[in-house]
């Protein structure tokens, strides 16, 4: 949290812009001025609540669907991801017009609304998780919120802190949820998670200030809400197109990996429950360090583009370790590399934000979140299909302790470890990350100068059009006045001629 103070202290320019250039909305109650603190707390509470349900949700999923566990899990995540892909541009564009706070409230409320249904009806619980994908865009709204109150120099660090908060929320919450579930039953865990989610909603409603100015930043059009139209518009900006392709190819294996990694470690590699819990905690702590201190140092030392390349290199390496590794120490090495690769998302988001205008932050962040939502739908399905094609059958298992006399899990792990390739989906993910790295190499080093030049040319063309129209109007008015003067002159000549004729007539008389 000390890092947050540093960020807020380093942002005088952006705060001056927010305070002097705009009049902030004051129609709702809030505490203080918009800051990274507010975004950090919102993210932490939401994902801490869901982190508590890691173990209970695996048990409920297995007990409800039994042999169809992986299939149903893939369908749930797939529907949720596709709905997120379709809804993210709309919510992002609306937040650009109507403000971030309203949509923060909507996304957190509807994303967390399925939690209490876990003890009421598992079927309704998983159905609501799927439908909640319509509002599963908290990250895009939060990143747009941060972009409103930070300048480009400090935005990358702020994004890293928000991503690190997500990792921090998962450091202890799965272990706490497992302990409470083993001791008191998962009903207590659901009650605690529901209370934390309600606290998050109340915090947004009461304490979070609006980050956008009072007047509308720009008009809303339905073209902005079209997810496929957003993809088509990427062709107008080659650098943004490269970045979105990099996001897709790097997050596709990450989404698949996240959906099965804990089960993979437990059931295939043979980790114990305590080792899995410790693994989550250690990787979470390392991710916090990577997304705060390491990310800041890399940005200052090698820049945004090279930081992305370093993160992708770490991702390729950790996926290869999961694909070929059979020993526990290899898995721990993979966890270290996975923590380093967590700098990818904040680095890519920072670069996307730099390439967008202030009044387009919600749209572009919604577009990136939509791509990630699509990956959340495709990634788990592709990983599950790859496991099936290579005859690596993984059944959903709980993280409850296994007695020493039970040998089924141990024999299964040993059987899979006899294969030359214990984790084929991770190898597929490594190839996808390699493609992402090749595309990232195509991003020009002087991307900011190119982007500024494009914006200057656009501004010059607009000013030229205005100048030409102004000149045309002046020329039209001059021609009109000239014609008027000519008409007046001709009228005067006619009057003179008439007077002269009258004089001649008088002389003749």
DSSP 154-178: HHHHHHHHHHHHHHHHHHHHHHHHH
Say whether both 248 and 396 belong to one domain.
Answer: yes
User: How many structural domains comprise the chain?
Assistant: 2
Which of 426, 445, 464 terminates a domain? The answer is 445
Q: Which residue has the tokens 């800051």?
A: 35
Instruction: Kindly report which listed range (81-85, 212-216, 403-407, 415-419) carries the lowest average pLDDT score.
Output: 403-407
Residue 299 has pLDDT above 60, yes or no: yes
Q: Is the domain of 154 the same as that of 70?
A: yes
Q: Give the pLDDT confidence of 381-404 residue by residue, as tens digits.
A: 788 778 777 776 554 443 333 333
d(CA 385, CA 507): 116
Q: Is the dihedral of CA 223, 229, 233, 238 positive or negative?
A: positive
CB 292 within 8 A of CB 419: no
> Over 301-343, what HEC string results?
HHHHHHHHHHHHHHHHHHHHHHHHCCCHHHHHHHHHHHHHHCC
| Biggest CA-to-CA distance, the chain | 145
CA dist., res. 74 & res. 383, Å (int): 9
CA distances from 114 to 49, 57, 117, 193, 468 (A): 12, 12, 5, 11, 58
Mark whether 456 and 437 lie in a shared domain. Answer: no
**Statement: residue 453 has pLDDT above 70:** no
Residues 253 and 235 in one domain: yes
Q: Which of 33-42, 189-198, 234-243, 282-291 has the highest mean pLDDT?
A: 189-198
pTM: 0.68
The answer, yes or no, to whether residue 225 has pLDDT greater than 60, is no
- CA atoms of 367 and 234, how far apart (whole Å): 10
Residues 373 and 481 in one domain: no
Residue 243 and residue 339 in one domain? yes
Higher pLDDT pick, 369 / 184 = 184
Q: Are residues 463 and 423 in the same domain?
A: no
- Going by pLDDT thresholds of 50, 70 and 90, the confidence category of residue 158 is confident
329: nearest Cα among 289, 366, 286, 279: 279
Calculated CA dihedral for residues 17, 19, 22, 23, nearest 10 degrees: 170
DSSP 83-100: HHHHHHHHHHHHHHHH-H
CATH number at residue 357: 1.20.1250.20
Domain boundary among 395, 414, 445: 445
Q: Are 61 and 197 in contact (CB under 8 A)?
A: no
Same domain, 167 and 182: yes
**Domain limits at 505?**
452-509
Q: At 218, give phi and psi (nearest 5°).
A: -165, 165
Whether 398 and 502 share a structural domain: no
Residue 432 is predicted with a pLDDT of: 95
* Residue 96 · residue 143 · CB < 8 Å: no
- Distance between CA 216 and CA 359 in Å, rounded? 9
The sign of the dihedral angle between the CA atoms of 142, 371, 71, 271 is: negative
Residue 130: how many CB atoms within 10 A of its CB? 18
The total number of residues written for the chain in this structure: 509
Residues 6+ apart with CB under 8 A from 376: 77, 80, 81, 84, 255
The answer to whether the Cα torsion of 247, 252, 253, 254 is positive or negative is positive
**Same domain as 460, residue 397:** no
In 3D space, the residue among 297, 255, 474, 244 whose CA is nearest the CA of residue 383 turns out to be 255
Could you tell me if 329 and 458 lie in one domain?
no
* Average pLDDT, rounded, for the chain: 76
426 and 495 inside one domain: no
Mean pLDDT lowest among 210-214, 287-291, 484-488 = 484-488
């Amino acid at each position: 949290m000390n890092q947050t103070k540093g960020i807020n202290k380093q942002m005088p320019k952006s705060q001056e812009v927010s305070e002097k250039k705009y009049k902030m909305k004051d129609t709702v109650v809030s505490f203080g001025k918009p800051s990274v603190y507010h975004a950090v707390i919102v993210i932490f509470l939401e994902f801490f609540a869901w982190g508590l349900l890691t173990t209970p949700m695996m048990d409920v999923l297995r007990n409800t669907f039994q042999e169809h566990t992986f299939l149903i899990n893939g369908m749930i995540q797939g529907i949720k991801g596709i709905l997120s892909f379709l809804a993210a541009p709309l919510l992002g564009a609306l937040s650009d017009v109507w403000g971030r706070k309203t949509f923060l409230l909507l996304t957190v409320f509807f994303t967390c609304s399925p939690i209490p249904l876990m003890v009421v009806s598992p079927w309704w619980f998983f159905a609501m998780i799927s439908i909640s994908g319509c509002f599963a865009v908290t990250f895009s709204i939060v990143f747009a919120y941060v972009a409103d109150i930070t300048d480009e120099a400090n935005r990358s660090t702020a994004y890293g802190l928000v991503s690190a908060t997500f990792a921090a929320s998962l450091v202890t919450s799965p272990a706490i949820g497992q302990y409470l579930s083993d001791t008191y039953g998962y009903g207590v865990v659901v009650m605690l998670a529901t209370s934390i989610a309600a606290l998050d909603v109340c915090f947004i409603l009461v304490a979070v200030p609006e980050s956008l100015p009072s007047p509308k930043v720009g008009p809303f059009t339905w073209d902005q809400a079209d997810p496929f139209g957003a993809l088509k518009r990427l062709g107008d900006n080659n650098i943004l197109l490269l970045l979105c392709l990099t996001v897709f190819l790097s997050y596709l294996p990450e989404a698949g990996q996240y959906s099965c990694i804990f089960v993979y470690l437990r059931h295939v590699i043979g980790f114990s429950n305590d080792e899995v819990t410790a693994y989550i905690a250690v990787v979470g702590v390392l991710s916090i360090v990577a997304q705060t201190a390491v990310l800041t140092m890399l940005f200052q030392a090698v820049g945004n583009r090279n930081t992305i390349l370093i993160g992708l290199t770490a991702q390729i390496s950790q996926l290869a370790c999961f694909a070929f590794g059979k020993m526990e120490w290899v898995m721990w090495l993979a966890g270290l590399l996975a923590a380093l690769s967590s700098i990818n998302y904040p680095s890519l988001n920072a670069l996307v934000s730099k390439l967008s205008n202030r009044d387009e932050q919600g749209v572009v962040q919604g577009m990136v979140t939509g791509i990630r939502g699509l990956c959340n739908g495709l990634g788990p399905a592709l990983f599950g299909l790859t496991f099936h094609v290579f005859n690596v059958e993984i059944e959903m298992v709980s993280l409850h302790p296994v007695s020493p006399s039970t040998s089924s899990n141990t024999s299964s792990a040993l059987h899979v470890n006899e294969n030359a390739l214990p984790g084929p989906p991770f190898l597929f993910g490594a190839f996808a990350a390699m493609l992402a790295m090749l595309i990232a190499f195509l991003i020009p080093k002087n991307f900011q100068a190119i982007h500024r030049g494009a914006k200057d040319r656009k501004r010059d063309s607009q000013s030229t059009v205005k100048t030409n129209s102004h000149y045309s109007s002046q020329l039209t008015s001059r021609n009109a006045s000239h014609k008027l003067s000519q008409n007046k002159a001709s009228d005067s000549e006619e009057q003179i001629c008439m007077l002269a004729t009258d004089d001649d007539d008088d002389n003749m008389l």
